[in-house]
């Protein structure tokens, strides 16, 4: 059973799989289905489950599907190999361009300690850890850095902004100049 | 020199701690080999043919004297007393132990150095003109812009797992010394007709097995829009760059397959969405970065020195050195001095710990504590007063750093080749030595004049063979080392890719073939002023081909 980290805490997964062709997911009332199935069976899925999340491929072009997934409570992104970073761009676009506020979940071979911080920075807030991963070790990754050079989706302090704040304001410069004269 | 503030320092220190933890987890068996490989590459550590290799970042080639001393210390303590400067203005050590690399990185961090993103499929070291800040033909100093791009690229959360490596280069001069059009993104800093500062953007250049020159996708990008535009390019590449075939994964293939015009439209559309957002620079941001760079207080009286001219008149060896290794400085009282890392019989780009210390001392005493690494694998002291050039030369000469061959045939650039690199098909260092041996006479070298020979031990093209006036590429043929020769390449403003001469040439015959090529040039050139490249462009391949493959001594 994979471990789920959500909002920086290990939690029980309240979503279940709905296998291809199956109509029931056992006792669970919340399921994640591939985009195609969601588009094909939207009304039927909504009538049978409390919540339906949608799984995207990392090749899915967001502008063409956004209107179909905008109201979903959860979007799952795919990291099929350790080094395939396409879904990083999807996560940032979902948060920054489309303003998606629901759960963005990462699943796949790259969902390990050493991807956790950048995934978080890109806007992913839930992680189906790969089977060999330990939750406490992965959570520690979120503290690897206390600041960052780039603006992103998370709350790390941004170096350029701190530098701007440390600059004297023009009023201060005038006072300083006056004092020197 | 760019000086770190507490933020820069903290990020580098935190990176060392992160990598130390990754190394420990790897050694404890908690990270699979192939995944640790991706992590260590992002910290510059390769596992090479005989030993690990650590590549240390030297942003835009600029080094402080205390950094040179630290490199000497690392060469002595962790290596065999040598380091190797690369064609990307970085430094490589070939024998560090995997377990010790976190300690090396911690030592580097104490002098504001690191090995972040010097390998792996991410944004690599940003390179620029090795004469930045002192060149006559410079619009502005490109280094603050390089630094702004470097900071944006460092630990970028979205672009750390790209299809392939990604390289940026900046140039701000009429003569491009940074080979910008052979980079994934080449950035020319320019002024538009209204006098505003900005950038001309080239995308999709690259060497390796499919050499291509970058396509211009924008004539003028305003100064404050640099990062949003870079982000737009990288986002398109991260999404659409090919990941099914490593040989087709560079952005040059995406640009070619999409078509440069269509690619430019995609970039513009993405940029339109983000150009007014957080990535738009403020003038303050640029001013702050500029204020991190030392301003040199030039001595206006330096121009009054007459001893320099006197030494030139009386000492022919000094005069020969100045002719080849010294360039004019923007300040009349100063000169730019090249130390050559291409001694006859030596290994291209190699430097000993003692030589690193010597360069540190010279930089301290005579050049505002700074030195620069060139992408031709030499070292430059950028700001030497005229009256000090003679003393500097004497010291360089004592330590084997004053070979007067900058820009000449024996100043060839060369990758580590089969001797060190696990990717290489063929040796390159031995070949470069054989070639140098055939042109031992300096008089003959001067007669030949400016020529760039570039050699790579494999298709990956670390030696930039495709843009050499003469390019040499090592290939493997039935387990033997053979060499494919190209003529007419250039990495400068008149950038072009070399043409193949014909079938590959054997290890035994390659040096002789180069000698014949030079012989054809000497016979065909109109005057001493016609360079090899100009001559080749005028007469074309036939006379060269005829002589290279004519006699039995160089069988095809």
- pLDDT tens digit string along B263-283? 999 999 999 999 999 999 999
A84, A97, A163 ranked by CB distance to B273: nearest: A97
Q: Which two tokens stand for residue B204?
A: 């999709």
Q: Considering only A32-46, B54-68, B159-173, B425-439, which range has the smallest mean pLDDT? A: B425-439
Three-state DSSP class for residue B148: helix
Cβ separation A145–B155 shorter than 8 A: yes
Compute the nearest-CA separation of A179 from chain B (Å): 22
For residue range B404-435, list pLDDT tens digits in order: 988 887 788 777 777 767 777 777 778 888 88
Q: Is the pLDDT of residue B36 over 70?
A: yes
* Structure confidence at residue B298 (pLDDT): 95
Q: Is the pLDDT of residue B556 over 60?
A: no
For residue range A130-172, list pLDDT tens digits in order: 999 999 999 999 999 999 999 999 989 999 999 999 887 666 6
Residues 6+ apart with CB under 8 A from B533: B451, B469, B488, B490
Show residues of chain A in contact with B151, CB under 8 Å.
149, 159-160
* Structure confidence at residue B355 (pLDDT): 97
Compute the nearest-CA separation of A119 from chain B (Å): 7
Three-state DSSP class for residue B156: coil
Compute the nearest-CA separation of B15 from chain A (Å): 8
Q: Which residues pair with B199 in a beta bridge?
A: B189, B221
Task: Decide if B283 touches A, using CB distance below 8 A.
Answer: no
Helix extents (H) in B259-411? 260-274, 283-291, 307-314, 316-325, 353-366, 386-398
DSSP letter for B498, please. P
- H/E stretch holding B454: strand B453-456
Q: Which two tokens stand for residue B174?
A: 């009429």
Nearest CA in chain A to B16: A144
Mean pLDDT value of segment A21-29: 77
* Structure confidence at residue A19 (pLDDT): 83
Probe site for chain B from A62, A85, A134 (most B CB atoms < 10 A): A85
Show residues of chain A in contact with B14, CB under 8 Å.
144-146
* Structure confidence at residue B416 (pLDDT): 72
Cα B345 to Cα B329: distance, rounded to the nearest angstrom = 31
Cα B553 to Cα B48: distance, rounded to the nearest angstrom = 35
Of B440, B386, B134, B32, nearest to A130 (Cα)?
B32
Q: Considering only A118-127, B101-110, B234-243, B429-438, which range has the smallest mean pLDDT? A: B429-438
Mean pLDDT value of segment A104-113: 98
Mean pLDDT value of segment B505-520: 92
Task: State what percent of residues in chain B have pLDDT above 90.
Answer: 73
Q: Is the pLDDT of residue B552 over 60?
A: no
* Structure confidence at residue A73 (pLDDT): 98
Compute the nearest-CA separation of A144 from chain B (Å): 6
Average pLDDT, chain A: 92
């Amino acid at each position: 059973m994979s471990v789920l980290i959500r909002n920086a805490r290990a939690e029980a997964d309240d979503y279940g799989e709905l296998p291809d062709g199956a109509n029931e997911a056992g006792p669970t009332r919340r399921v994640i289905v591939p985009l195609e199935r969601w588009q094909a069976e939207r009304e039927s899925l909504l009538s049978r489950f409390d919540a339906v999340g949608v799984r995207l491929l990392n090749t899915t072009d967001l502008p063409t599907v956004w209107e179909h997934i905008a109201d979903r409570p959860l979007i799952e992104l795919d990291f099929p190999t350790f080094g395939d970073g396409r879904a990083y761009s999807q996560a940032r676009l979902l948060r920054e361009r489309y303003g998606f506020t629901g759960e963005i979940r990462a699943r796949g071979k790259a969902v390990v300690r050493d991807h956790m911080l950048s995934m978080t920075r890109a806007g992913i807030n839930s992680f189906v850890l790969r089977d060999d991963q330990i939750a406490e070790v992965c959570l520690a990754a979120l503290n690897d850095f206390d600041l960052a050079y780039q603006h992103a989706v998370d709350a790390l302090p941004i170096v350029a902004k701190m530098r701007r704040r440390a600059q004297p304001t023009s009023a201060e410069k005038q006072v300083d100049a006056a004092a020197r004269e | 020199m760019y000086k770190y503030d507490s933020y820069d320092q903290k990020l580098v220190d935190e990176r060392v701690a992160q990598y130390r933890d990754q190394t420990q987890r790897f050694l404890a068996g908690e990270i699979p080999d192939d995944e640790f490989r991706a992590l260590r590459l992002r910290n510059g550590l390769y596992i090479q043919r005989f030993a690990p290799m650590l590549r240390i970042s030297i942003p835009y080639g600029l080094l402080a004297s205390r950094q040179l001393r630290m490199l000497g210390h690392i060469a002595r303590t962790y290596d065999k007393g040598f380091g190797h400067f690369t064609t990307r203005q970085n430094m490589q050590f070939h024998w560090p132990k995997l377990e010790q690399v976190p300690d090396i990185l911690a030592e580097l961090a104490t002098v504001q150095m690191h090995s972040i993103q010097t390998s792996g499929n991410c944004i690599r070291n940003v390179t620029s003109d090795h004469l930045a800040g002192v060149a006559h033909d410079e619009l502005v100093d490109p280094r603050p812009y390089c630094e702004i791009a470097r900071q944006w690229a460092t630990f970028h959360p979205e672009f750390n797992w790209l299809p392939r490596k990604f390289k940026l280069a900046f140039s701000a001069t009429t003569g491009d010394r940074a080979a910008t059009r052979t980079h994934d993104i080449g950035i020319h800093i320019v002024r538009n007709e209204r006098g505003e500062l900005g950038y001309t953007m080239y995308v999709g250049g690259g060497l390796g097995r499919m050499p291509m020159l970058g396509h211009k996708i924008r004539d003028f990008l305003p100064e404050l829009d640099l990062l949003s535009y870079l982000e737009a390019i990288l986002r398109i590449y991260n999404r659409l760059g090919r990941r099914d075939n490593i040989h087709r994964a560079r952005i040059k293939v995406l640009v070619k397959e999409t078509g440069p015009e269509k690619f430019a439209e995609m970039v513009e559309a993405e940029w339109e969405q983000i150009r007014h957002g957080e990535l738009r620079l403020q003038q303050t941001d640029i001013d702050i970065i500029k204020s991190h760079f030392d301003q040199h207080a030039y001595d206006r009286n330096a121009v009054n020195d007459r001893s320099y001219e006197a030494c030139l008149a009386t000492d022919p060896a000094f005069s020969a050195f100045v002719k080849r290794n010294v360039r004019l400085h923007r300040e009349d009282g100063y000169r730019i001095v090249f130390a050559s890392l291409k001694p006859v019989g030596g290994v291209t780009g190699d430097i000993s710990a003692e030589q690193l210390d010597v360069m540190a001392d010279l930089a301290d005493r005579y050049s505002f504590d700074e030195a620069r690494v060139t992408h031709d694998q030499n070292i430059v002291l950028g700001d030497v007063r005229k009256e000090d050039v003679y003393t500097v030369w004497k010291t360089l000469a004592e330590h084997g750093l004053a070979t007067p061959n900058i820009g000449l045939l024996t100043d060839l650039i060369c990758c580590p080749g089969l001797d060190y690199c696990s990717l290489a098909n063929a040796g390159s260092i031995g070949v470069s030595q054989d070639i140098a041996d055939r042109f031992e006479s300096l008089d003959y070298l001067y007669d030949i004049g400016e020529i760039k020979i570039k050699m790579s031990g494999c298709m990956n093209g670390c030696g930039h063979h495709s843009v050499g006036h003469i390019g040499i590429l090592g290939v493997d043929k039935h387990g033997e080392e053979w060499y494919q020769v190209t003529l007419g390449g250039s990495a400068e403003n008149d950038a072009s890719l070399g043409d193949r001469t014909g079938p590959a040439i054997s290890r035994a015959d390659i040096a002789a073939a180069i000698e014949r090529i030079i012989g054809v040039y000497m016979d065909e050139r109109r005057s001493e002023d016609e360079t090899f490249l100009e001559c080749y462009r005028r007469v074309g391949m036939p006379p060269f081909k005829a002589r290279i493959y004519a006699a039995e001594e160089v069988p095809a």
